[in-house]
Amino acid sequence: MSFSRLLASFIRRHWQSYGAAACMLAIIAVLTVLVPRRVGAVIDGLVARRLSGHALAMELAILVAMGIAIYFLRVGWRLQLFSAAYQFGVELRTGLYRRLSLQGPDFYQRQRTGDLMALATNDVDAVEMAAGEAFLAGFDGTLTLVMVLGMMFLGVDWRLTAIALLPFPFMAFAFWRISTRVHDASAAALDRFGDLNDHVQETLAGVRTLRALGLEERSAAQFATLAHNAADANFEAQRWEAAYEPAVGMTLTAATALALSLGGYLVWQGLLTIGLLTSFSMYLGQLIWPMFAAGWVLALIERGRAAWGRLQPVLDEPLTIADAGTVDAVQPGTLAAENLSFRYPGQTGEALHEVSFALAPGKTLGLVGATGAGKSTLLRLILKQYRPQAGTLNWGAHALDDYRLDALRDAIAWVPQESFLFSASIADNIALARPDASREDIRHVAELAAIHDDILRFPSGYDTPVGERGVTLSGGQRQRVAIARALLADSPLLLLDDALSAVDTGTELRILQHLRETRIGRTVIIASHRLSAVADADRILVLRNGRIAEQGTHAELLARGGWYEKQWRYQQLEASLDAL
pLDDT digits (tens, 9 = 90+) for 31-72: 777 776 677 667 666 666 666 677 777 777 877 888 888 788
Contact between 325 and 404 under an 8 Å Cβ cutoff? The reply is yes
pLDDT at 580 over 60: no
Exposed, middle or buried by CB within 10 Å (0-12, 13-18, 19+), for 392?
middle
Q: 272 in helix, strand or coil? A: coil
Structural domain boundaries enclosing 550? 326-411+495-502+529-580
The confidence score (pLDDT) of residue 137 equals 73
Confidence grade of residue 99 (pLDDT, cut at 50, 70, 90) = confident
DSSP-based three-state secondary structure for 376: helix
Answer whether 131's CB lies under 8 Å from 304's CB. Answer: yes
Count other C-beta atoms under 10 Å from residue 110's C-beta.
11
- Is the Cβ–Cβ distance between 466 and 439 less than 8 Å? no
Q: Report in angstroms the alpha-carbon separations of 525 from 178, 245, 382, 479.
A: 62, 68, 10, 16
Q: Is the dihedral of CA 123, 124, 126, 127 positive or negative?
A: positive
Q: Residue 367's pLDDT band (boundaries 50, 70, 90)?
A: very high
Helices 274-286/244-268 angle, 10° precision:
170
Helix, strand or coil for residue 287? coil
The answer to the question of residue 439 being in a domain is no
**Whether residues 64 and 123 fall in one domain:** yes
The pLDDT tens digits for 526-539 are 998 888 888 888 89
Residue 471 lies in a domain: no
Higher-pLDDT residue of 187, 367: 367
Q: What are phi and psi of 394, to 5 degrees?
A: -125, 145
CA–CA dist 140, 156 (Å, integer) = 22
- Does 418 fall in a domain? no
End-to-end CA gap in the chain: 68
Residue 400 sits in a domain of what CATH number? Answer: 3.40.50.300
Residue 257 to residue 249: CA distance in whole angstroms: 12
3-state secondary structure of 454: helix
Tell me which residue of 407, 455, 448, 457 sits closest to 428, measured CA to CA: 455
Q: Is residue 508 part of a domain?
A: no
Given 277, 297, 316, the domain boundary residue is: 316
Mean pLDDT of 273-280: 70
CA distance 101 to 308: 20
Taking the alpha carbons of 357, 363, 369, 371 in that order, is the dihedral positive or negative? positive
- For residues 485-498, give the mean pLDDT: 86
253 band by pLDDT with thresholds 50, 70 and 90: confident
Give dist(CA 312, CA 306) in Å, integer.
Answer: 10
Give the SS3 label for residue 51. Answer: coil
Residue 556 belongs to some domain of the structure: yes
| Length reported for the chain | 580
Together in a domain, 84 and 105: yes
Based on the fold, state whether residues 98 and 9 are members of the same structural domain: yes
CA atoms within a 13 Å half-sphere pointing along the CA-CB vector of 352: 28
Q: Residue 414 CB: number of other CB atoms within 10 A?
A: 22
Are 494 and 564 within 8 A, CB to CB? no
- How far is 396 from 330, CA to CA, in rounded Å? 8
Q: Would you state the pLDDT for residue 543?
A: 92
CA angle 439, 442, 448 (to 5 degrees): 145
Residues 324-339: what's their mean pLDDT? Answer: 85
Residue range 191-213: average pLDDT?
Answer: 73
In a shared domain, residues 29 and 159: yes
**CA–CA separation, 305 vs 129, rounded Å?**
11
Query: Which pLDDT belongs to residue 62?
Result: 77
Identity (one letter) of the amino acid at 163?
I
pLDDT > 60? residue 214: yes
Residue 134 and residue 304 in contact, taking contact as beta carbons nearer than 8 Å: yes
As a whole number of angstroms, the distance between CA 537 and CA 524 comes to 9
Domain boundary among 287, 316, 345: 316
Q: Is there a single domain that holds both residue 385 and residue 275?
A: no
**CA quadruple 554, 560, 562, 565: dihedral, nearest 10:** 40
Q: At what angle do helices 475-489 and 439-448 cross, to 10 degrees?
A: 120
Answer whether residue 487 shows pLDDT above 70. Answer: yes
Q: Evaluate if residue 286 carries a pLDDT over 70.
A: no
Same domain, 42 and 102: yes
Q: CA separation (Å) from 106 to 111, 318, 344?
A: 9, 11, 9
Strand boundaries in 289-443, DSSP class E:
335-342, 352-359, 364-369, 390-395, 398-399, 412-415
369 shares its domain with 298: no
Beta-strand runs (E) in 473-522: 493-497
Radius of gyration of the chain (CA): 36
Query: From CA 159, how far away is CA 280, in angstroms rounded?
Result: 11
Mean pLDDT of 73-85: 74
pTM: 0.68
Amino acid sitting at position 52? S
CA distance 320 to 333: 27
Same domain, 184 and 330: no
Average pLDDT value for residue range 481-503: 85
Distance CA 291, CA 252 (A): 9
Total domain count for the chain?
2
Which uninterrupted H or E stretch holds 221? helix 216-242
Burial-class residue 543 by CB neighbours within 10 Å (0-12, 13-18, 19+): buried
Whether 185 and 298 share a structural domain: yes
Asked whether residue 311 is domain-assigned, the answer is yes
* Residue 416 within any structural domain of the chain: no
- What is the rounded (10 degree) CA torsion for 488, 491, 494, 496? -40
Percent over 90 (pLDDT), the chain: 5
Q: pLDDT tens digits, residue range 171-186?
A: 777 777 777 777 777 7
Residues 9 and 140 in one domain: yes
Alpha helices in 48-167 (DSSP H): 53-102, 105-110, 113-118, 124-129, 135-150, 158-164
Is 458 inside a domain boundary? no
250, 283, 316 — which closes off a domain?
Answer: 316
Do 300 and 165 fall into the same domain? yes
CA distance 553 to 535: 8
CATH number at residue 47: 1.20.1560.10
| Residue 153 per-residue DSSP state | I
In this structure, the answer to whether residues 406 and 308 fall within a common structural domain is: no
